[in-house]
């Protein structure tokens, strides 16, 4: 199995989470590739794609947003999970934080299988006036390796499950395009063609510890 992990961050906290996720997946025998959202051009051919973005003022990092927007067809054709990082406190450790509205809308459009919000990391910067400009928030590392491991365990168990696809909204003039897209999915064995199946976008939102 091949999994692509794409991350977007400014100070490296989300990239660190991506590496933690990759290491945990590798422990499950998964072949993992990790890349920066601004540099990955071809996300096709993977059994799953995980996209992570840092949160700033309630918005995903623009590189993560743009990656999803420009690769929607490829994302909708495979297994996709999103993760966000940002809370500079213990609030994310329960695994129950919902995605911010912007990420929730992107998740709906990409037909993702789940989302998780992880704590962020902030190193206190020094260096006079310019350093103080970035010294907002509570410094510290609020990423939880156990939370990451539990989430990855859920993903590893679901990658091999049959994938149902919901086609995007198609205008009447694009009916021929819709038919070709549907036939391509059927030929790939991703749908038996008998019905239009949906998917619970945030089925993985809670961690195993929260479910217990």
Number of domains forming the structure of the chain: 1
pLDDT-based confidence at 192, cuts 50/70/90? very low
CATH (domain of 80): 3.40.50.360
In a domain, 94, yes or no: yes
Return mean pLDDT, the chain: 78
- Is 188 inside a domain boundary? no
Which tokens is 54 given? 């840092």
Strands 140-141 and 121-122: antiparallel
Whether residue 65 is contained in a domain is answered as: yes
- Asked whether residue 6 is domain-assigned, the answer is yes
Write out the two tokens for 194.
Answer: 């008998």
Is residue 182 in a domain?
no
- Determine the Cα–Cα distance for residues 85 and 183; give it in Å rounded to an integer: 37
- Residue 173 domain flag: no
In the chain, the percentage of residues whose pLDDT exceeds 70 is 69
Q: Is 181 domain-assigned?
A: no
Range of the domain at 58: 2-166+199-211
Q: Quick: pLDDT tens for 39-97.
A: 998 899 999 999 999 999 899 999 999 999 999 999 999 999 999 998 888 888 888 89
* Whether residue 200 has pLDDT greater than 60: no
Band of pLDDT at residue 188, cut at 50, 70 and 90: very low
Structure confidence by residue, pLDDT tens digits, 82-130: 999 988 888 888 888 999 999 999 999 999 999 999 998 877 654 444 4
DSSP calls for the chain: -EEEEEEE-SSSHHHHHHHHHHHHHHHTT-EEEEEETTT----TT-SEEEEEEEEETTEE-HHHHHHHHHTHHHHHTSEEEEEEE--SSSTTTTS-PPPPHHHHHHHHHHT-SEEEEE--EEPPP-SHHHHHHT--S--EE---HHHHHHHHHHHHHHTTS-----PPP--GGGHHHHHHHHHHHHHTTS--SSS-----TTTT-S-HHHH-
Residue 177 maps to a domain: no
């Amino acid at each position: 199995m091949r999994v692509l992990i794409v991350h977007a961050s400014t100070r490296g906290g989300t990239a660190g989470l991506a590496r933690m996720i990759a290491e945990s997946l590798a422990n499950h025998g998964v072949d993992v590739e990790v890349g920066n959202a601004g540099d990955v051009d071809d996300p096709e051919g993977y059994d799953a794609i995980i996209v992570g973005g840092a949160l700033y003022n309630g918005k995903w990092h623009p590189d993560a947003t743009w990656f999803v927007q420009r690769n929607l067809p490829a994302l909708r054709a495979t297994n996709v999970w999103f993760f966000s990082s940002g809370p500079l406190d213990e609030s994310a450790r329960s695994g129950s934080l919902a995605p911010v509205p912007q990420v929730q809308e992107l998740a709906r459009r990409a037909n993702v299988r789940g989302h998780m919000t992880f704590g962020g990391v902030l190193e206190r910067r020094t260096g006079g006036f310019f350093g103080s400009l970035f010294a907002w928030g509570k410094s510290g590392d609020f990423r939880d390796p156990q939370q990451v491991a539990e989430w990855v365990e859920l993903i590893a168990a679901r990658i091999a499950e049959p994938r149902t696809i919901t086609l995007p909204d198609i205008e009447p003039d694009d009916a021929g395009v819709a038919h070709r897209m549907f036939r391509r999915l059927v030929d790939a064995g991703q749908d038996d063609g008998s019905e239009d199946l949906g998917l619970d976008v945030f089925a993985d939102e809670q961690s195993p510890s929260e479910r217990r």
